[in-house]
Amino acid sequence: MYFLLDDIFPPVENADENGLLAVGGNLDPSTLLNAYCKGIFPWFNEDEPILWWSPDPRIVLYPANVNISKSMKQVLKKNIFTYTINKAFDKVIDSCREQRQKEEGTWISPGIVEAYIALHKDGHAHSYEVWMENELVGGLYGIEMGKCFFGESMFSAVSNASKAALIFLCKELVSRNFILIDCQVSNPHLKSMGAIEIPREEFMRELEGALND
């Protein structure tokens, strides 16, 4: 196992079969941005040291390819939701943390919250919010670099709100010619929305292109 020293990450090809690449280091904004540029992200439980990952395959979503089901199209036509960007970053990340704690435990530790709020203040981390009758009912947050959005987490307080947040994100990214959403870890919800798994080598090529676009 590689123990991270001086924020120097090993090549992603050194990750083990589960995608674990390195242990340790810190969550300083510069460390996190350096990691994302290299196809690496932090993911660990509160009682663990910082763990850095680069799984193979990688799950990604191309913004223009987001899947909107017939039932979801009907929901969106009703205009029950309104949308904002970066109006409630702290509330979004707190809501993601609370929802994960209730469901299965969370990697969104107080240290993670502090780190991503700092990234938000520096203009790197962004939140996409979904509202219903002036109440925050869904949203997501992540990092934007180049033409890539690195998704971190989402939450939903009412039915379909997280789907609406992801669709809203994709439409906004398409309008700004973004190439890629890095979804990091696969799950059925993301796949149902159009995310696909690609080899890590392919992901790294596409990431380089998106960062240099």
Residues sharing a CB contact under 8 Å with residue 150, sequence separation 6 or more, in sequence order: 36, 41, 142, 143, 144, 181, 182, 184
Check if 2-55 and 59-212 are the same fold: no
- Residue 43 is given by DSSP the state -
Q: What is the pLDDT along the chain (213 residues), one digit of tens a residue?
A: 566 656 789 999 999 999 999 999 999 999 999 999 999 999 998 778 999 999 999 999 999 999 999 999 999 999 999 999 999 999 999 999 988 676 665 678 889 999 999 999 999 999 999 999 999 999 999 999 999 999 999 999 999 999 999 999 999 999 999 999 999 988 898 999 999 999 999 999 999 999 997
Contact 193, 159 (CB under 8 A): no
CA 99-148-56 angle, 5° bins: 75
Backbone angles phi, psi at 163, to 5 degrees: -65, -45
CB atoms inside a 10 Å sphere around CB 93 = 25
Contact 181, 62 (CB under 8 A): yes
What CATH number should be reported for the domain whose range is 2-55?
3.30.70.3550
CB atoms inside a 10 Å sphere around CB 168 = 23
Q: Report which of 103, 194, 196, 202 is spatially closest to residue 153, judged by C-alpha positions.
A: 103
Which pLDDT score, from 0 to 100, does residue 3 have?
66
For domain 59-212, give the fold. Aminopeptidase (3.40.630)
Contact 211, 91 (CB under 8 A): no
Domain ranges across the chain: 2-55, 59-212
